[in-house]
Amino acid sequence: MKKYQDQYFKKARKENYPARSVYKLKEMDKKFHLFSPGLKVLDLGAAPGSWTLYAAQKVQDKGLVVAVDLQNTDVSFPGYVVFIQGDVFDPQAEAARIIADHAPYDLVMSDMAPRTTGIKFTDQARSFNLAMESLYAARQHLGQSGSFITKILEGPDIQELQKEMRSSFNKVKHFKPKSSRMESKEVFLVGLELI
């Protein structure tokens, strides 16, 4: 399968990020001021590692980034990044223990996407389930006034996710990055100030 190579793909290679997705996070950070030095960040679905690298650059060595994914990555992270290969949603897994050991976090972020089938409603439903699982993880591990980012495919379930997030955060924002591919149905919901 041929990789989609646009200006963001080329820019990511030039700036030594493993994926173009980093520019989506940069856009959200610019708009919502999500990062600062010293923060603790939990990155769900972290591979191949672009979001983790960006978070590490922003929180610097006084901060911490705990990154989890089912897949491994060959990215070399700084010492204040803990990368765990495992299932973030399995309460019996080693990943769950490590995540809990470092809680609470200032920011929980998820760029997770389901394995797509090409069947619109199936893919939307799977995306919604991942976003809800991420929200439960955020509720469990965020500290006071923490923030949350999650990706979801556009569809009727977005309103349900927004409603759930509004019960946990003072502000919930809907964001479509310019760096998302034109044909992409992904959007991001950002929860600010955990109640």
What is the DSSP secondary structure assignment for residue 46, as one 8-state letter? -
How far apart are the C-alpha atoms of 69 and 71, rounded to whole Å? 5
What's the distance, CA 157 to chain centroid?
19
Active site residue 151: yes
3-state DSSP assignment of residue 34: coil
What is the DSSP secondary structure assignment for residue 114, as one 8-state letter? P
Contacts of 61 (CB under 8 A, 6+ apart): 78, 79, 80
Catalytic site residue from 26, 31, 151, 185: 151
Angle at 86 between CA 26 and CA 61, to 5 degrees: 45
Token code pair at residue 155:
């569809």
Residue matched to tokens 């980093």:
22
| 161 phi/psi in degrees, rounded to 5 | -65, -45
3-state DSSP assignment of residue 64: strand
Distances (CA, A) of 160 to 146, 152, 157: 21, 12, 5
Active site residues: 151
